[in-house]
Amino acid sequence: MAQAVTQAMDTGRHLAVQAGTGTGKSLAYLVPALRHAQATGGTVVVSTATIALQNQLVQRDLPRLVKALDAHLERTPTFAIMKGRSNYVCLNRISAEDMGEPSQALIEEEELSWMGKQVARVREWAENTETGDRDDLEPGVPDLAWRMVSVTARECVGAKTCAHGAECFAEQARNSARDVDVVVTNHALLAIDALSDIQILPEHDVVIVDEAHELDSRITSVASNSLSGTMLRMAARRAKKLSGKEAKVQGLEDSAAAFEEALENQVIGRWTTLDPRMKDLMEGLRDDLFQLRQRLGRGPEDEAAKNPEQAAERHNLCNHLMELHDSVVRMLQVFDEPDPARHSDVVWLDMDGRRGVSLQVAPLSVAGLLHSRLFSEKTVILTSATLTVGGNFSALAASWGLAKGSWDGLDVGYPFVPERSGILYVARHLPAPGREGLSPETLQEMKELIMAAGGRTLGLFSSRRAAQQATESLRPQLPFDILLQGDEATGVLVRRFAESENVCLFGTLSLWQGVDVPGRSLSLVLIDRIPFPRPDDPLLQARKEAADAEGRNGFMEVSATHAALLLAQGAGRLLRRIDDRGVVAVLDNRLVTRRYGSFFCASMPRFWQTTDPDIVKGALRRLVSPQSKG
């Protein structure tokens, strides 16, 4: 892998590398990255999807490499980490007497008081921290509290304008990343740097994308916009406090109220047309947002000198209003094209239990964006333990917009033989999964498998409801503790699971990826069903329909590919080091009874396969016997 990465950097050809758990892939790209940076005098950007991997790179792998390679390079290797501005506490925001906390109309009084305490704790921490990085705050605070003490890139007033620019934590982090060999960042910041006209990351000619299976979804998230009544009301409230004149914001308040009321009466899901009344409301909202921004932008000439904090809030709010305005414009432009099949963006109404209804817009595909803004300008190395779907790289290469003939693929395998270390068991005898929840037969199968494994089970479920049902049903029947995702912070639960040899951990999506529990604490990975996307997911459904309209197989291209990546990630939780042994049990007979089953099996590690429950239970009992510890 190191040789292939070096060749890609030297020749400028893109490279996709599938490297299984335990291959040391971070070292295989970091050594060539340091070599390339020092040879060219430039910087190599390494982008990851998770904070855990970022921390591993900057706290463990890179410091070790610096020590090991120092004597072999012309100068000591250097590196830094870069995160989005919202990851750092904003000194200007926390110095303001009123930070725009949500009103009691939006949050219950008891919760408002609790939130105030969280914000006060961050203020106190900000006086002593050297980094201002949210990840260094222990214990952490909820997202809503953090949003009160941080700003996005668009909300920032700029270091030159801000009264606290000289001490700004985000600026200090950015300055430390200049002129280093390797900059570690995340997919979101990479996307912002690539898609916007503002250069955020240092000048670079090579990008290494680790956890590349997440690239499509993270780019989609950055390229999406959201609009809700709550967002508009909070913007109007901030404008009222800043202007002191209610008449100036009355237009936005009225438009926001009418918009929110209209959304309440709309159908949840994708919008392919825009009814005339909603069109009129959105056009009025667009105009009110623009006019309010224009009025607020004309502050007193001497405001920056006499009241820098108010000037900063004015700049911040004007940027936020323009962002809301641009979201409305983008949504309206979708419906300028009457044929939904030709829409390049997807608009849908979403319902969230906490935030209520909101209107969302996202690109139908990010392949074009990635092709024009990333792959045409940089040499890109993409790697993950799961990049081949159905046995090849084609599906992900297409989703990234990689042009044919411009890239190479390499599967370096595993440091162990999957067929000798793991078993893939498919419960063929069980009834096919239905909408009514887990069947009695499936729950009984789970019980028998967990008993054979002596606990030691990671249960991966396709829905929160299924995880709860399994937990409630099995807790009274099993002599082992069952930890349920959501009962405590996920990190705490994973740690408790890893530290015990007979505990079970049940959960949903975030447990399918990134959970690293080597050794005897994990002998069995239970998967309740093939994790197809929800049929009511507007964006994935639109992508499926678009593929079908172009004569391709939308089910296989979108739904099956989505499920195959998750299955591969879930199955990858089992074997984390060369002496691990265990079973992946899929309690969905479609994996062997449907034609697409072979596609999924080809996407997972090549475990030894069986449909015989007695063989599997016997193997699990032998694994957990005292004699197997050696």
Q: In this model, does residue 335 exceed pLDDT 50?
A: yes
Residue 262 CB partners (closer than 8 Å, separation 6+): 277, 278, 281
pLDDT digits (tens, 9 = 90+) for 235-251: 998 888 887 666 578 88
pLDDT at 105 over 60: no
Residues whose CB is less than 8 angstroms from the CB of residue 581 and which lie 6 or more positions away in sequence, other chains included? 421, 422, 523, 575, 623, 628
- Between CA 127 and CA 116 the distance in angstroms is 17
Predicted local confidence at residue 627, as pLDDT: 53
| Residue 546: exposure state from Cβ atoms within 10 A (0-12, 13-18, ≥19) | buried
* Model confidence pLDDT, tens digit, residues 358-387: 999 999 999 999 999 899 989 999 999 999
Mean pLDDT calculated for residue range 190-212: 89
Q: How many CB atoms lie within 10 A of CB 282?
A: 21
Question: 346 with 261: CB under 8 angstroms?
Answer: no
Q: Do domains 2-82+177-221+366-413 and 418-629 have the same CATH topology?
A: yes
pLDDT band at 148 (very low <50, low <70, confident <90, very high): confident
Q: In this structure, which topology does domain 225-363 adopt according to CATH?
A: Four Helix Bundle (Hemerythrin (Met), subunit A) (1.20.120)
CA distance 390 to 367: 20
> At residue 352, does pLDDT exceed 80?
no
Task: Calculate the average pLDDT of the chain.
Answer: 89
Average pLDDT over residues 349-362: 85
Strands 79-81 and 182-186: parallel
Which pLDDT score is estimated for 414?
86
CATH topology of domain 2-82+177-221+366-413: Rossmann fold (3.40.50)
What are the residue ranges spanned by the domains of the chain? 2-82+177-221+366-413, 86-163, 225-363, 418-629
For the cut 70, the answer to whether the pLDDT of residue 629 exceeds it is: no
Q: 502-513, pLDDT tens digit by residue? A: 999 999 987 888
318 pLDDT higher than 80: yes
What's the per-residue H, E or C state across 63-125?
HHHHHHHHHHCCCCCCEEECCCHHHECCHHHHHCCCCCCCCCCCCCHHHHHHHHHHHHHHHHH
Q: Which two tokens stand for residue 4?
A: 């292939």
Whether the pLDDT of residue 188 is over 80: the answer is yes
Percentage with pLDDT > 90 across the chain: 59
Residue-wise pLDDT tens digits, 72-102: 988 999 999 998 888 899 998 887 755 444 4
How many CB atoms are closer than 10 A to CB 112?
A: 14
Correct CATH for 418-629 of 1.10.1750.10, 1.20.1090.10, 3.20.20.70, 3.40.50.300: 3.40.50.300
The neighbour count for residue 589, using CB atoms within 10 Å, is 19
Q: Is the pLDDT of residue 619 over 50?
A: yes
**Which residue in the block uniquely carries the two structure tokens 């009264």?**
163
Asked if residue 428 lies in contact with residue 593, where contact means CB atoms within 8 angstroms, the answer is yes
DSSP state letter for 403 = P
pLDDT in the model for residue 628: 53
Q: pLDDT-derived band of residue 159, with 50, 70 and 90 as boundaries? A: confident
* DSSP summary character for residue 58: I
Least confident segment among 157-171, 271-285, 286-300, 612-626: 157-171
For residues 306 and 256, the model is more confident at 256
Contact 356, 229 (CB under 8 A): yes
pLDDT band, very low/low/confident/very high, at 104 (cuts 50, 70, 90): very low
pLDDT of amino acid 439: 95
In 3D space, the residue among 375, 359, 353, 311 whose CA is nearest the CA of residue 157 turns out to be 311
Assess whether pLDDT exceeds 70 at residue 108: no
Q: Are residues 587 and 424 in contact, defined by beta-carbon separation less than 8 angstroms?
A: no
pLDDT at 486: 86
- Residue 458: is it exposed, middle or buried by C-beta count within 10 angstroms (0-12/13-18/19+)? buried
pLDDT value for 247: 59
Contacts of 522 (CB under 8 A, 6+ apart): 456, 457, 458, 497, 498, 573, 574, 576, 580, 582
Q: Which DSSP string do the residues of 464-513 spell out, in sequence order? A: HHHHHHHHHHHTTT-SS-EEETTSS-HHHHHHHHHT-SS-EEEE-HHHHS
Is the model's pLDDT at 309 over the cut of 90?
Answer: no
Q: Are 428 and 589 in contact (CB under 8 A)?
A: yes
pLDDT > 80? residue 306:
no
Q: Per-residue DSSP letters for 19-49? A: E-TTS-HHHHHHHHHHHHHHHHT-EEEEEES
Of 315-319, 394-398, 604-608, the poorest mean pLDDT is in 315-319
Q: What is the pLDDT of residue 103?
A: 41
Q: Supply 360's token pair.
A: 């969302």
Which tens digits make up the pLDDT trace of 450-505? Answer: 999 999 999 999 999 999 999 999 999 999 999 999 888 787 888 899 998 899 99
Tell me how far CA of residue 355 lies from CA of 231, 327, 328, 359, 602, in angstroms.
10, 18, 19, 12, 40
269: left (phi over 0), alpha (psi -120 to 50) or beta: left
Element (H, E) at 229: helix 229-243
